[in-house]
Structure 1
Amino acid sequence: MRRTALLIAAISIVLAGALAVFTSGKLVDHVERHTERRLHTLLVEKGEDWATIRADGFRVNVGGLAKDEATRFRTIQLLNANVNDARVYDRTSVSQPE
């Protein structure tokens, strides 16, 4: 009886751990997709669709080529107003004037 109880307890702990790992991975994927969709929609609505958004956990990477510094700054400020600015990593660049 004692061995059976220990075996059941051990199996329960292993299953609970596996379930926790699986659900945490799914939760992170959901948060990343939701963040990317929400910010992409926001940028398109504001006419700043030149920027690309990639979420990596809670980090939001912004990339793309802005036509000028004002456009780049406006886009980053827009994102900072909607997401904690510590999460936004600016990987954008500005095109050179001709």
Structure 2
Amino acid sequence: MYIEKNGYVVETAVDGQDGLQKLEQLQQQGKRPAMIISDINMPNLDGIGFIKEVKKKPQFKFVPVLVLTTESQDKKKMEGKQAGAAGWLVKPFQPDQLVGVVKKFVR
């Protein structure tokens, strides 16, 4: 589903597997996202697995991935960074925090 928020067009997915399918659809349309935001705890394909799969694809390798999650342990953060995450924002958060982080990556 496409949503427009704060001047950004947002495509949502229900889990990591759905996210990969949405990325494939974008690729078929000759498009790529400016940024990907993912949770860690998801059914079917968790966030770490999702990020690893995204980073395997040459067309998405350099798309920044922000992790938005309740996970705050350093071990999980390191795992995310090793998978290819560019940033980590812990829930709960203020909407302005998310917009600020997105603005840093998407110009």
Q: Higher Cα Rg: structure 1 or 2?
A: 1
Assess same fold via TM > 0.5: no
